[in-house]
Chains A and B, each alone.
Chain A
Amino acid sequence: MRTAVDVSALVGPYPFREVPHPDPDVLVRVLDREEIDGAWVGYLPGAFHRDPSPGNAALYRALSAHRDRLHPAPAIRPDWPGWSRELTRAIEAGARAVRAWPMQWGMGVGHPALRELGHACHERSVPLILTVRFEDSRQRHPMDVTGHLPAAMVRELVRAGTGARVVVVGAGRGFIEEVHWGLTPPERATTSYDTSWIWGPPEDDFAHLLRTIGPAHFVYGTGWPLRLAQVTRANLALLPPDLAGVSLDDPTRWTARRPDA
């Protein structure tokens, strides 16, 4: 079964351990192998920079040879001077989504700048991707002390009513349930979760979430290059018979009304 988009792919090195070949041409080969049409790609080292602009520029350059498959999802830091111009630049560069790294930027739950970014994303029809974690907390480098994204941060952002499509990547069952059931039905309708960090059998968290929350809230994500891209395919393949062949949401529909998408 072909998949339209991987929403949680990144390129570039990771500062806390060696990651093999985190390069765009390798990502394209992985997408081919996994039968994924394209990816919304972020710039991994940029998550640890204060000013995301140079990293975004590096991302656009890195993806330039593969723009038919790899679409930039740069970082927009809404408490940084000129962020609105950076968002315009991102859209002009073909961004299908943008990322924010509030924990790495020291933003707390309910930070007003995040709400501003949410409004801007809604106005420009650009989904906003938030990442819960890069690695298992038990293996973090001693210098990697930033906490995981708290579920409360997602709830507060969505409850602010910006209308932005919020895509949470790297969340597990507990996080997803805490956000989903902590929102009103209209708020839930604007919130999606990627599949990269949800357990399959025997706990069957993925099957449970598909049954209770519904497949329309989930989008395909791999977490590449930090995680094996095969995990989501494995999870889908191991779903019980009543969920076999389930269709996840197609993120391309969120940007379909944009003329450049």
Chain B
Amino acid sequence: MSEPLGGDGPLIDIHAHFYQEGAGRLQWRSLNASRLAAGDRIGVTWHVGSVLGSWGATSPTYFQSPDDTVAGNDVMLAMQAAEPGRVRAWAAVNPNDASFALAELDRCRQRGAIGLKLAAARRADDPLLAPLLEFAEAHHWPVLHHAWQRRPAWVPGQDPSDALDLCALAGRHPRVGIVLAHIGGGGDWSHTLSAVRDVPNVYLDLSGSGVDRGMVDQALAAVGAARLVWGADLTLDTGLAKLWALDVVGLPAADRDAIRWRNAARLFPPGAFPGIVA
């Protein structure tokens, strides 16, 4: 096998997504295969993925029905079972069905999920999230929270949170590692950097299609290597470009490793990634 494009050493993609039959994407199988193949070439050792319900086919992506939540998580858990050496699962829930969501998290945990994925069904500062965060804390789960950098008051199809919302959540749950999703995923990332600078349990995931020059450097300056985690989200090419960008910003090897895998390994429960010790 040729040398990984993304360089040597472990590499954890903490923001992966997979698709399933009936999810509105006819080529769902090839999309999943393409993700895994590109991951192999980049050198991704672990994809931590989620399936957001039916991806809009039978309930909205960001407002999943309970049935679609279960079905989506089942797909993700089956994927983890089928790929035990490279795929791990987030449990994705809609906090509006509060008691169901909590039960679903426990169901997924018992089947091997390793973290809580929240999208945009309820803002991060909403008290409705409290029991879910308490569950995460009890099981040493990180929370990957969808974000829209400096959100507008209203966005079609979702109730997105921004860094200020996530910081409010982080303040209420200081022992939970909260990963603000995709600083390259749209919106004003400079607003995010200013907001999260002094909130120690908010981590930034570098994923997203955005590859603005200055974003990686300024994120490093804002929160340091100890609070950055690598991920790709829906575009592995931009993920690889950001790995290469990290290689040229003059990072010490320990910081590079922290962003590539060590921070993620520490955030998730011990043993979440066999063969990797934080």
Chain A interfacial positions (CB closer than 8 Å to B): 17-20, 33, 135-136, 138-139, 199-204, 206, 224-228, 230-231, 233-235, 237-238, 240
Contact = CB atoms under 8 A, between A and B. Distances in A.
A18 B238 CA distance: 21
Nearest to B245: A228
Contacts of A224: 213
B209 A136 contact: yes
Given A17-B190, A201-B34, A238 B236 contact: yes
Contact of B214 (A18, A138, A200, A238): A18
Contacts of B241: 228, 230-231, 233-234
B235 interface: yes
B189 interface: yes
A200 B211 CA distance: 13
B237 A201 contact: yes
Given A136-B209, A136-B210, A238-B5, A202 B238 contact: no
Contacts of A240: 37
17 contacts: A18-B190, A20-B217, A138-B186, A138-B187, A139-B186, A199-B209, A199-B238, A200-B236, A201-B236, A201-B237, A202-B34, A226-B212, A227-B212, A228-B241, A234-B244, A237-B240, A238-B237
Interface centre among B148, B211, B242 (most CB of A within 10 A): B211
A235 B241 CA distance: 9
A157 to B, nearest CB: 28
B54 to A, nearest CB: 18
Given A17-B190, A202-B32, A234-B241, 7 more contacts: A136-B210, A202-B236, A206-B237, A226-B212, A228-B245, A230-B240, A238-B237
B31 interface: yes
Question: Chain B: interface residue count, which band?
Answer: 35 or more
Contacts of A20: 213-214, 217
Interface in B207-235: 209-214, 216-217, 234-235
B35 interface: yes
B41 A238 contact: yes
Given A203-B235, A234-B241, A33 B248 contact: yes
B220 to A, nearest CB: 12
B38 interface: yes
B127 to A, nearest CB: 28
A201 B149 CA distance: 24
B67 interface: no
B21 interface: no
B240 A238 contact: yes
Interface string B1-37: 0000100000000000000000000000001101101
Contacts of A233: 241, 244
A143 to B, nearest CB: 13
B19 to A, nearest CB: 9
Contacts of B217: 20
Contacts of A204: 34
B151 to A, nearest CB: 10
B37 A201 contact: yes
Contacts of B234: 199, 202-203
Contacts of A135: 212
Contacts of B97: none
Contact of A202 (B31, B148, B242, B244): B31
A226 B190 CA distance: 14
Interface string B37-50: 11001100000000
A226 B215 CA distance: 10
B188 interface: yes
Nearest to B152: A138
Contact of B242 (A138, A200, A228): A228
Given A139-B189, A228-B213, A238 B38 contact: yes
- A-B pairs, top 10 by smallest CB distance, nearest first, are A200-B237, A138-B186, A201-B38, A202-B34, A234-B240, A230-B241, A202-B35, A228-B211, A230-B244, A234-B241
A227 to B, nearest CB: 5
Contacts of A19: 213-214
Nearest to A231: B241
B212 A200 contact: no
